[in-house]
Each structure stands twice: as C-alpha cells, then as structure tokens.
Amino acid sequence: MKYLFAFVFSLLLNTALAEDPSQNTITSTVIGEAMGDFDKDGIDEKVIILDAGLDGEIGTQRTLFIYKKKQDKWFLWHSSQGPVLDSAHGGMMGDPFVGIEIQRGAIVIDHFGGSNRKWNYTHRYRFNGKEWNLIGATINYGAPCEGFFEFDFNVMTGKAIYKRYEDGCTDEEVASNFKNEQKEIFTPVTKSINMDGFYPGSNKLDIKEIGQEIYY
C-alpha cells in the first residue's frame, strides 16, 4: 500500500511541478540544484533534487527532476527515483546527500555517511540521446588505522583504478607498517545501467584481483 501511495503521490508531484519548479504548492524541500546543457542544444537544463517528506526505506525519499526551458518557461523533461539516497541513509553521519553539480554535460551526485568506518560515493550520469545512464562511480571506504580504499570506476570502458592507503591514524607504528597499493583493473559491465531506479551502494562487483567485493 505504501508503494501505491508513493506512486500516486509522485504523479501528483510531477504534475504540480511540471510547468515551474519554483511555483509548487506541495510541502517539499529543494535540497540540491544545478544547471547544464545535457542535449548539446546550447540551452542549459535545470536539475532539482526534491525531498517531499514521503517515507522511504531509510528516512524520506528524494526525487531528481530535470527541466527544459521553452519560451522563458520551465517544463518537466524527466524525473528519476533512486539516484539520491534516502534522508537517513548516512547513519550516524546524518543526511548522506552532499551535493549535485554538472561536469562536462554529466550529472554528478555525491553522498557521504557511516560511523567509525566511513564511505563516500560519487556517481556520474550522462544523457545518451534517449535516457540517462551511469557512466562512472568513485567509491571510498574505510577507517583510520584499518586503512581506506578508493575504487574509481569508468562504467563505460570497464577500466578502474583501485587504491589502498592509510589516512588519519594516530598510532605511528600502525601507520608506518601500512603498505599503500594501487592497481589498474578491468571489470566490464555487459549492459548499460539506467539512472532511473539505480540505488547507490547496492550494486556489487566481485573483484578477483584484489579479493574484495566492491559495492557502488
């Protein structure tokens, strides 16, 4: 029943925001906004991330809206549920959403959370003429004196760089014995990953070269 209500609410919200994102009457909070040209027509589109207070799995849901401008008015072009984590997904660190920006025509979304072990996600999405697909992900995870890893993954080519390092350890002996490493890895993705329905951190890669599972 909750999901039926969420679907109906989403339809109502899309209708309310379709013509102008700044003139909505539904109680909601814009938590992020950026502008950039996605379809290379020389006119910037607008991306808004909205928290409408609707219950999700872990806190309240966030929805990403993309608007096109026609004759000085904004019109809803696309909406996406999933690429922005729920409001309580950051655990002890609170709201996991860090920010959104447009880089080289791609939507870039940052998240951060954890407790002693902290994680940071950066995901990049690009419009291919028909839909928005995940093109890259950078994952950082770890804790002081245990070590951190960074996994920078080009989803389009399958190429990735894995780094393991120590940061912030106050135990000098542990820090001095820690061995930094870096490896180039090839882990192809057999099909494109659509932004719609994608949920950061829930997608697994089994990397045999490092004997480790990576969630992106």
**Residue 12: is its pLDDT beyond 70?**
no
Tokens standing for residue 154: 């080009």
How far does Cα 129 stand from its chain's mean position?
21
pLDDT at 190: 86
Per-residue model confidence as pLDDT tens digits over 79-109: 999 899 999 999 999 999 999 999 999 999 9
**What's the average model confidence in pLDDT over 102-117?**
96
**Residue 18: is its pLDDT beyond 60?**
no
For 21: left if phi > 0, alpha if psi spans -120 to 50, otherwise beta; the answer is: alpha
Q: Within 10 A of 152 (CB to CB), how many other CB atoms are there?
A: 16
pLDDT at 118: 95
Q: CA-based Rg of the chain, rounded to a whole angstrom?
A: 19
Confidence of residue 51 (pLDDT cuts 50, 70, 90): very high
- The owner of tokens 């093109």 is 135
Specify the long-range contacts of residues 160-164, CB closer than 8 Å, at least 24 apart. 160/184, 160/185, 160/186, 160/187, 161/185, 162/207, 162/209, 162/210
Per-residue model confidence as pLDDT tens digits over 129-163: 999 999 999 999 999 999 999 999 999 999 999 99
Query: Would you list the DSSP string of 189-205?
Result: -SS--BSTT--TT--EE
pLDDT at 20: 52
* Of the candidate ranges 1-15, 32-46, 103-117, 176-190, the one whose mean pLDDT is the lowest: 1-15
pLDDT at 197: 86
pLDDT at 8: 39
Domain boundaries, the chain: 2-215
pLDDT at 205: 93
Percent of the chain with pLDDT over 70: 88
pLDDT at 23: 52
pTM of the model as a whole: 0.87
